[in-house]
Structure 1
Amino acid sequence: MSRSSAGWTNWGGTASCTPHRLSTPQSTDELAADVRAAADRGDAVKPVGAGHSFSEIAVAPNVQVDLSGLHGISDVDAARKRVTLGAGTRLHQIPALLEPLGLAMANLGDIDQQTIAGATSTGTHGTGGAFGGLSTQIRGVTLVDGTGQVRTIGENDPDLKAAALGLGALGILTDITLELVDAFAIEAVEEPGDADATIDGFLDRVATVDHYEFYWFPHTSCTLTKTNTRLPASTPASGPGAVRRYVDDELLSNSLFRLLCGLAAAQPRLVPTINQVSGRALSARTYADRSDKVFVSNRDVRFREMEYALPLDAVPDALHELRSVIDRRRHRVSFPVEVRAAAADDLLLSTASGRATGYIAVHRYHRDAVADAQGYFRDVEDIMTAHDGRPHWGKMHTRDADYLRRAYPRFDDFLAVRDRFDPERTFDNPYLRTTLGD
């Protein structure tokens, strides 16, 4: 059904809109009828998931589509370890759906509030040199195209290379078929480290560890490394008890961190001191649990984020340059820098398309002064683009179609698919006009 809509703002407060109407379909046919009606009126239509993108990719000029009515498992192919999920299914709902089947997603990011459609359409990824982003797990989709036609795209259809990570530019996904793996556990080892040694050893660690990432605390030489090793599902949960986990993950990582970020926003001169204290307070811990419980971290301190994907070998040099520019330009950055990796894939607009990839993500507290945050993001972006960086589609950036055409060898192939799926640009918005061109 379609009804009048109120204003919408994303989680990070970086995008907002007031759509003319809100569509809340409960079926693919209902969605198709809404899209046809909007196309006949000449209204632009945009789906929205959890609103966890920091870019303006989900901004809806006219009609906003809420996919929460399309959720859960609609089909299971046990022999091929595949399930079909409604596009509005949240990532945090999926593990409980898969557990009775003895299956799991091969890799996850560290936030699980997104819908499966939103996460895959924007290129959400985890870390692991042998593992691709979430979109690489897709083996088929159903979508409603710009004319209101329902299209089913299977794994042998070449259009899946575009539709699996389609930016919402080809159509509105209604279901997604994922190829899964047998359920597994993970042992996580978190350790404090030295920035120079961690950065210079990054490539070796990515090559030898299942899932590796680290955080560097600006204004310090402190890092926190996280090494995840895959283990059989029968591995018992172990590690710190419930009280210690609560202290580490909630009181320190969220409640205390929020207070420190608020203090830093009010008194930026204190940021280096706060980071030095925080970085030196880091301690090692080892624990094991079901895969999703280790991959995912609870983050409720609001922030704004920019992330770039670089050729994997370029990551150490880019990080050394980032450390230098923060000192030289006297940026005051309370959030740690996050560094991850992913395998190359063959999706047309994946940030890892055609190359092994490293990811550098930078954040600012949502209440930091806007001018200070913008200056930091601008300097970071200059470094990343100098290393042939590709911006994460769901995070803040200023790149346009001219830049992105140079960054993606098959950029125009994607545009050709878009011309067939949405010839009248029913799914257009300002973000897509900038990134894909008018």
Structure 2
Amino acid sequence: MRRRRRSWQNWAGNQVALPTRIARPASEDELAEIVRRAGEQGRRVRAVGAGHSFTDVACTDGVLCELDDLSRVLSVDHVTRRVTVGAGIRLHELSRHLDECGLALPNLGDIDRQSIAGAIATGTHGTGIRHHGIADAVVAFRLVTATGEILECSADATPGSLAHELWRLGRVSLGALGILSTVTLACVPAFRLRAVEASTDVDALLAELDEHVDATDHFEFYWVPHTRIALTKHNQRTTDPPDRRRWRRRLENELVENVAFGAVNRVGRRLPALVPRLARLLPGPGRRETVAPSHEIFCTRRRVRFLETEWGLPRAALPDAFAELRRLVDTLPHPVNFPVEVRFLGADDAPLSMAVGRETAFVACHAYVGTPYEAYFAGVEAIMADHGGRPHWGKLHRRGRDDLMGRYPELAAFIELRDRMDPAGRFANAYLDRVLGPVPAAGGSAPGAG
């Protein structure tokens, strides 16, 4: 166990923690010992991965556990396609290892710098109306509890048992039930995607949106605020061979999405009045098409720093909510200098997933670091909340437990399990107190998983 720096901040720089200690366990047993010792000292504990959440979900004034050294691929079963990894492995490292084994995750988000534990904690997702978020691939995990006990939680456990309930409710967990040490994922044979990217008129796109969503394996679009421009991404599964010159796409992405886009945002931050004019420079090099392994298409590097709020709406609510969002942008005191991202997923059954129980449209709004965002995000939140939206757990929002109880049907069951597993609030922090409520003051100890 090594002591590190005494401060920590997230990727965007908007969350800073001053823990009493930063620990970096090199094994599951070390992780359990850190939790036990924190309990003896009356300190709280939080785990942290890549810091890609914009909320204070990972912050603590107690012990902060960096899981970077728990990042090995532990086992690969080529028959069941189940792969067990350390909870600290980054998604991009995981995808590379899986590809070498002829495997892949069924779906990924557009950023892959997160740890698998962080992705599970906050409900990281991609797009595709016949597909689901990363939580859907989680079939088991090992959990270090508030007492330092290590529990095996699995979809294969007896339904109704603690081990099964921890798996069922813990696939999106906020880190409230304990700290993951390993994760077992149900993978699929490696596959390729044909990516077609183009720009179009946003109203023409919205008029035919259902056709795009239903006919494409993985569809998403971006609307450029202050314009009628929409950028579409149609990613279709294919058996065609990979494009030998796909390096060109990566180079174009780097130049357009990071170098040029970063420059546009820096100018817009200094000269906000130019933002609407600069927005028309964003669409990029026109229609592009390439074939590549799935993880290369799903994910891109994001070097331009931003803040984000994201909401999951009932799919049918998107047209009205999106129309209100467009009107909001025109009334804000500061122009919006970042595209709005819209994605889609099928209904899933992870209780704290944004897509639980319903086909979901996700609306993500961003703001370049250092630019005013409060009025924008507050307006977005009001619109999305009115249309039945659920906030992304790792992205900025102001919802509290009482409001969220009406948005997540099993949130009360999750809170009950949290109170049972962590009666002393060992894994609590200010964010969890807001969205789940404080842990009751009653004493007790976390039970085993027999």
TM-score of the superposed pair, with normalisation by structure 1 = 0.96
Change (3 A) 1:334 1:75: same
Percent identity reads: 42
Partner of 2:335: 332
Match of 1:415, as an amino acid? I
In the alignment, which of 180, 183, 189 is matched to residue 190 of structure 2? 183
Using the alignment, how far apart are the partners of 2:39 and 2:4 within structure 1?
Answer: 17
Match of 1:207, as an amino acid? D
In the alignment, which of 203, 207, 219 is matched to residue 214 of structure 2? 207
Change (3 A) 1:244 1:213: closer
- Structure in which a larger fraction of residues adopt helix: 1
Is 1:354 paired with 2:357? yes
1:4 to partner: Cα distance = 5.6
Change (3 A) 1:277 1:68: closer
- The answer to whether the 8 A contact 1:83-1:178 is kept is yes
Partner of 2:109: 109
Using the alignment, how far apart are the partners of 2:54 and 2:142 within structure 1?
Answer: 26
Partner of 1:276: 280
- The answer to whether the 8 A contact 1:81-1:180 is kept is yes
Partner of 2:297: 294
Using the alignment, how far apart are the partners of 2:12 and 2:265 within structure 1?
Answer: 15
Is 1:310 paired with 2:313? yes
- The answer to whether the 8 A contact 2:332-2:375 is kept is no
1:202 to partner: Cα distance = 2.3
Match of 2:145, as an amino acid? D
In the alignment, which of 260, 263, 278 is matched to residue 264 of structure 2? 260
Change (3 A) 1:120 1:49: same
1:153 to partner: Cα distance = 0.4
Match of 2:256, as an amino acid? L
Is 1:160 paired with 2:167? yes
Using the alignment, how far apart are the partners of 2:68 and 2:403 within structure 1?
Answer: 34
1:15-73 C-alpha deviation (Å, 9 max, x unpaired): 11111011111111111111011011110000000001111101022100011111121
Name stretches of at least 5 consecutive residues in structure 2 with no aligned partner: 157-163, 439-450
In the alignment, which of 224, 229, 244 is matched to residue 217 of structure 1? 224
1:159 to partner: Cα distance = 2.3
Match of 1:348, as an amino acid? P
Is 1:230 paired with 2:237? yes
Change (3 A) 1:327 1:424: same
Match of 1:221, as an amino acid? R
Using the alignment, how far apart are the partners of 2:421 and 2:11 within structure 1?
Answer: 30
- The answer to whether the 8 A contact 2:246-2:290 is kept is no
Using the alignment, how far apart are the partners of 1:374 and 1:420 within structure 2?
Answer: 36
**1:34-183 mapped onto 2 (5 Å cutoff):** 34-156=34-156, 157-183=164-190
1:200 to partner: Cα distance = 3.1
1:241 to partner: Cα distance = 5.6
Using the alignment, how far apart are the partners of 2:346 and 2:244 within structure 1?
Answer: 30
Using the alignment, how far apart are the partners of 2:6 and 2:375 within structure 1?
Answer: 32
Give the SS at the match of 1:361.
strand
1:83 to partner: Cα distance = 0.4
Name stretches of at least 5 consecutive residues in structure 1 with no aligned partner: none
- The answer to whether the 8 A contact 2:109-2:298 is kept is yes
1:14 to partner: Cα distance = 1.7
Give the SS at the match of 1:398.
coil
- The answer to whether the 8 A contact 1:189-1:227 is kept is yes
Using the alignment, how far apart are the partners of 1:245 and 1:151 within structure 2?
Answer: 42
Give the SS at the match of 1:93.
helix
1:102 to partner: Cα distance = 1.1
- The answer to whether the 8 A contact 1:272-1:332 is kept is yes
Change (3 A) 1:323 1:71: same
Is 1:344 paired with 2:353? no
- The answer to whether the 8 A contact 1:4-1:20 is kept is no
Using the alignment, how far apart are the partners of 1:100 and 1:376 within structure 2?
Answer: 43
Change (3 A) 1:158 1:397: same
Is 1:376 paired with 2:379? no
1:435 to partner: Cα distance = 0.5
Match of 2:172, as an amino acid? L
Is 1:416 paired with 2:423? no
1:140-161 C-alpha deviation (Å, 9 max, x unpaired): 0001011111111011313211
Count of aligned positions:
431
Give the SS at the match of 1:318.
helix
Query: Once superposed, what is the RMSD of the aligned Cα atoms?
Result: 1.4
Using the alignment, how far apart are the partners of 2:123 and 2:206 within structure 1?
Answer: 25
Change (3 A) 1:122 1:7: same
Give the SS at the match of 2:262.
helix
